[in-house]
Structure 1
Amino acid sequence: MIKQPLNYLFFCSVALWTALGCSPKVTDQTTAVESTSPEPVKEAGPCATWFETGHQDEAETEHVLYRDLIRKEEYEQAYPHWQKVFHWAPMADGQRTIQYDDGIAIFDHFYQSAATSAEKKQYLDSIMYLYDRLGQCEPKAQVEARKAFDYYYKYRAMTDDYTIYKLFKQAIDKYGLKTDYYVLNPFTALILQMYVEKNIDMAEAQKYGKLVKDILAEGLSTCKDEKACEPWKIIESYAPVRLEEFEGVEGFYDCNYYMDKYYQEYLDNPQDCDVIRTVLARFRWGGCDAEDPKVKELLGALQEYCIVTTETGPLRQGFDALQNGKYREAIDQFLDFVKNSDDPEKKAKYLLVVAKIYYGNLRNFPQARKYALDAAALKDDWGEPYMLIGKLYASSGPLCGPGRGFDSQRVVWAAIDKFEYAKRIDPSVAKEANQLINEYTQYMPTNGDLHMMNMHEGDRYTVPCWINEVTRIRGVKG
C-alpha cells in the first residue's frame, strides 16, 4: 500500500470544509461546450447526514461496504469507501459518531504501519483533524480527553508529556465531574510526573489531585449497573493509590486527610508502638494541632506503651523527630547513629527503621529497599527486612501498571518470592509470611491469561519497573 496518496486524498476530501482546491488543473478551452456532466456532489459540513446529500442510497451502501471491510481489518480496502461516504455525510444518520470513529481507526492503522516519522505525522494530523471536526458536532464526545488519551497511549513519541498533561487538564477543566473515566489513570500518573519534574507547583498538583478523587467519587456514585461501574472500580484500584505518593511531600495533604485515613488504624491497634508512632507522625506531618483530642490520645498511648529509654544522642533525637513528623531529620539521626555504632545488631535494627520511614512515610520504595537490604546484610537469618521488601513489591501494582491486569499482577511474583525467602530463613515471621502469601496468590495472573500470552509456569521472568528482579512465572485457576 502507498500511504502518501491516501493521506493526500483524505485532505482533498476534507477540503469540503476549507475549500483547499485539490482537483487537478486543466488547460483553458477556447471553444465553449455545453456541459453534460452530472451536478457535482455538494460539499458537506462536519455534521452533515446522508439524508441531506441527495445520495442517501449510495451513501448507505458505501457505509455498509467499508464497515464490512473494517470488521475484516482490511483498512486499505475500506479507506476509499469510507472516504466517499464521509465526504457526503460525516455524521452518517445523525444518531452516532461511527464514521468519525472509523476514520480515526483507519488513520491509526496507517500510522502504525508507516515507515517514516514524516508519514506518521501526516496520519496523526489527520486523526487530530477528525477529532476537531467531531467536537463541533458532538460535545459529549469529549474530544480533548480522547486526544490526550491517544497521545498518552499511542502517540507519545510524537509530542512531550507536558503537552499531553495540558490536554488532559483542558478536558477536566471543561467537563468537570462529568469527565469520562478513561482520563483519570493517565492523568493521575502525569500529575505525579509533572510535579516531580517541576513542571507544575504543589497548588496545581493539589487542585487536580482533588479533582481526580472527586470525579472518581461521582462516577462510583452515579454508575447504574455492574458493567457501567466496572471501569470506575478499576480506576479506584489505581488513582487513589498513586496519589498516596504525595504523602511524601510535606504540606501536600492537610490534617483532616491523615486523620480520616489513619486514625482507624490506631483504633484497631491501640497498643502497637509501630502503629502509634506512625499514625502520630502522620498527624504531625499533616500539621495537626497539638491540642487536637486525637493527637493528645496518641501522645498518651505513646507515653503509656512506647517509652524509648535511650540516652541523649542520635537515637533520642531520631525518635523525637519521627514522632513530630520530621521524617528526613529522623532519617539523618538514625543514619548518624548507624555510622558511629560498632554494634551490628543495633545498626541493622535502625537501618530497618530508616527503610520503614521511606516506605510508610516518604513513599520512596527504591530507598526503602536499599536500607532494608543494608539491614539484612548485618544480621544473619533475619526475615523482617525481606518481609518489608515483599510488602514494597506487593504495593507496586499501581506504580508499575494500571492497577489491574498483567502489568500490575506480575509484581506479586516478586513479592511472594520475598515472603517465601523470609520464612525460610526466619521461622519467627512464618505466620505473617504465610498469611501474605495466601492473600497475594489470588492476585497472580490466571493460567488462561498466561496461555494467551504464551507464557509458561516455572519459566524465568524479569519483573520490570523499579523492581527489576528475576522471578518465576506462576498462575492461578480462573
Structure 2
Amino acid sequence: MRTSFSVFSSFLLALIVLINPLFLGASEALSDGGSSPETTTSNDTSCRTFSDTSDPDEAETNYVIYRNLIKANEKEEAMKVWRKVYATSPAADGRRPTVYTDGVAFFSELIRQYPDRKQAYGDTILMLYQQARDCYPGDGYMAAIQGFDSYYTYEGLATKDEVFALFKESLEIDGPEKLQYFVINPMSSLLVEQHREGKIEADEAKEISDALMTRLEKGLAECEGRYCEAWETIKAYTPDVLRYFETVKGFYDCDYYINQYYQDFLDNPTDCDVILTVFSRLKYGECLEGSPEFDAVSKAYAENCVVTAGPSTLKIAFDNLKDGEYDTAIENFLAASEETDDAEKKGRYLLYAAKVYYSHKRNFREARKYALRAAGANPNSGEPYMLIGTLYASSGPLCGPGTGFDSQIVTWPAIDKWQRAKAIEPALASEANKFINRYAQYMPSKSDIFQRGINEGDKFFVGCWIQESTRVRTP
C-alpha cells in the first residue's frame, strides 16, 4: 500500500508542476542536480533530513529562507524555495513536520486562487499529511488535521471510514487528555454513524464517547477568554449527538440519566409528561429504589400520573413506558389509538407514540410521522405541531456542525410549526411564543444570508431530514 501510494504521490506532484503557474519559475530550480519532488516520496527519501543531504548547511539555509519569506508574505518566492527543501529534506531537522504543513498551507492557498483545481491540490494536501504521519508517527496532530480536512475541506477525497480511522489514530496517540479540540465534533458524529451501521461495537463506542467527553470537560475547565468560544461550540454539539447512545441499553449508567434528566423534573414537579419521561429514563438507566432522585420521581408519578381509567391497552402502554420498554410502549399506544373512535383520544394516543420516538428512541423521522397522524386524527389540537417544532429546533447537530448557517436554518421551519400550533389552538400561545422567542435569536444573521445571496422574506428549502420549504428571517 505504501509503495503504490508513493508512486501516485510522485505522479501527482509532477502533474502539478506542469499545471501550476507558481511552479513555472521554480521548476528550473529542481534541475540543478538535486532530487525532484517526484523522487522524494519513496520509502527511502520521504523522511530525509538536512543531515541526509549532500550539503546540510545549504538545505537548512533554504529552510530558513523560505520560512522568512512566508513571514514577509512573499508566498510565491517562498513556495519556490520550499520546493527545494521538500525535494532534498522534507523532514527538516527530524524534529518537526513543518515542511509538510507549510506545503499544506501553500496548496490551500492555491485552491483559493484556482478553485477548479481543488481535486488535484486536495489530493496533494492529503498526500503531504500522509507523509508527515509516516515520518512523525508519534504526532497525533497530523492524523487529526488530515482527518479534519478530509471531512470538511476536501470532502470526497476519503471515505467516512477512513476519516474515522484517522481520528481514532489521533486519539490513540494523544489520548483523551490531549486530543485536538477540532476532532471532537466530527468524531462524535462519525462515532454515531459507525455504531448505527454496525461497524463498531458498543464497548468500543463507549470508550471513545467517554474519551470525547473527558476532553470536552477538560477544555471547558481550562480555557480562558476567547479560547472558550470553541469549547462552548463543542459543548452545544457533541453531548447532544452522543445522546443517540441512550437508545443502547446499558451504554450509560444511572448517574448519566440523573444528570441529564432530573433537573427537568425539579423544574416541572407535577407535569405528568415530564415525570413520566424522567421516571422512565431513570428506570432504563437501572436507577434503584433508595436513590433520593429515583424515590422523588417515583412518588410524583404515583401522585400525578397513574392511569386508572381508559382502555386497558393504554394502561399497558404507560406501564411499558414507565419500565423503559419503549418498542412495546409504542406498539400499545398505537393499538390504543385503533381501539377508539374519539378524535381527541385517538390524536392523544398517537402523539404519545410520537413522543416516545422523540424522547426515548431519538428517531426524529418516526416522531414526526406519528405527530402528523395525531394532527390528522384531531385537527383541533396544536400539540402535534409543538412537538414537530421541537424536533426541528433540536436538529442543528443532525443537519450541520451544531453552529453556523447549516445548523441555524432549522429554526425557520421550527418557528413555522410553533406559529401553526398556536393558530390552531390559541391556548398554546404562551408556550409557543416562549419557544419562538427563545429560538428566534439563533436564526442566521443578516450578514449570513447576505453572504449567500439570500434576502429576508425569500422562500428557502431546508434539506437534511426536514425537507420543507420555509421563509427566510433574521433575528
Q: So what's the TM-score if we normalise by structure 1?
A: 0.83
Aligned-residue identity in percent: 39
Q: How many residues align?
A: 444
The match for 1:250 is: 249
Which position in structure 2 is the counterpart of 1:238?
237
Q: After TM superposition, give the deviation of residue 84 of structure 1 in Å.
A: 1.5
Matching of residues 4-43 of structure 1 within 5 Å: 4-6=14-16, 11-12=37-38, 14=40, 18-19=44-45
Structure 1: 4+ residue segments shifted above 6 A: 46-49, 66-70, 91-96, 109-112, 114-117
Secondary structure (helix, strand or coil) at the match of 1:237 reads helix
The code of the aligned residue for 1:184 comes to I
Cα distance change, pair 52–228 in 1 and its aligned pair in 2 (3 A): farther
Q: Distance in 1 between matches of 2:232 and 2:455?
A: 30
CA–CA distance in structure 2, aligned partners of residues 441 and 277 of structure 1: 29
Tell me how large the CA RMSD over aligned residues is: 3.2
Tell whether 2:45 aligns with 1:45: no
1:420–1:312 Cα change, 3 Å: closer
Q: Please state how far the C-alpha of 1:471 moved relative to its aligned partner.
A: 0.6
Partners of 1:415 and 1:47 in 2: how far apart? 62
- What is the alpha-carbon distance in structure 2 between the residues aligned to residue 376 and residue 279 of structure 1? 25
Superimposed CA distance per residue, residues 97-132 of structure 1 (whole angstroms, 9 cap, x where no aligned partner): 554222123345678867797x57962563234422
Q: Does the C-alpha gap of structure 1 residues 90 and 347 become closer, same or farther in structure 2, counting only changes over 3 Å?
A: same
1:204 aligns with 2:208: no
- 1:54 alignment counterpart: 58
- Whole-Å separation in 1 of the counterparts to 2:126 and 2:405: 32
Q: Specify the SS of the correspondent of 2:357.
A: helix
Counterpart residue number, 1:102: 102
How far, CA to CA, are the matches of 1:55 and 1:124 in structure 2?
Answer: 23
Question: Which amino acid is 1:473 matched to?
Answer: V
Return closer, same or farther for 1:201/1:16 CA change in 2, 3 Å cut-off.
Answer: closer
When residues 96 and 474 of structure 1 are mapped into structure 2, their CA distance, relative to the original with a 3 A threshold, is: farther
Are 2:48 and 2:91, in contact at CA under 8 Å, matched by a contact in 1? no
Letter of the structure 2 residue corresponding to residue 100 of structure 1: Y
- Letter in structure 2 aligned against 1:449: D
SS in 1 for 2:362: coil
**Amino acid in structure 1 at the alignment position of 2:441:** Q
Distance 1:427 1:311, change over 3 A: closer
Q: Max radius of gyration: which structure?
A: 1
Q: Output aligned runs, 1:300-311, within 5 Å.
A: 300-310=299-309
Matching residue of 1:285: 284
TM-superposed CA distance for 1:290, in Å, is 3.9
**How big is the shift at 1:329?**
0.9
1:215 aligned partner, one-letter code: R
1:329-478 paired onto structure 2 within 5 Å: 329-476=328-475
Instruction: Flag structure 1 segments of 5+ consecutive residues without an equivalent.
Output: 21-42
1:261 maps onto 2:260 in alignment: yes
Return the letter of the residue paired with 1:460: K
Distance between the aligned counterparts of 2:179 and 2:96, measured in 1?
A: 20
Cα distance in structure 2, aligned partners of 1:296 and 1:122: 59
**Which deviates more, 11-20 or 168-177?**
11-20
Matches within 5 A, 1:144-293: 144-176=143-175, 177-223=177-223, 225-293=224-292
Deviates more, 1:285-294 or 1:191-200: 285-294
TM-score (norm 2): 0.84
Whether the 8 Å contact between 1:48 and 1:94 is mirrored in structure 2 is no
TM-fit CA distance, 1:181: 0.1
1:207-255 per-residue CA deviation (whole Å, 9 max, x = no partner) reads 11111100111111122x2222221111111101101121122222111
| Inter-partner Cα distance in structure 2 for 1:204 and 1:457 | 46
Q: Which runs of 5+ in 2 are unaligned?
A: 1-11, 19-29, 31-35
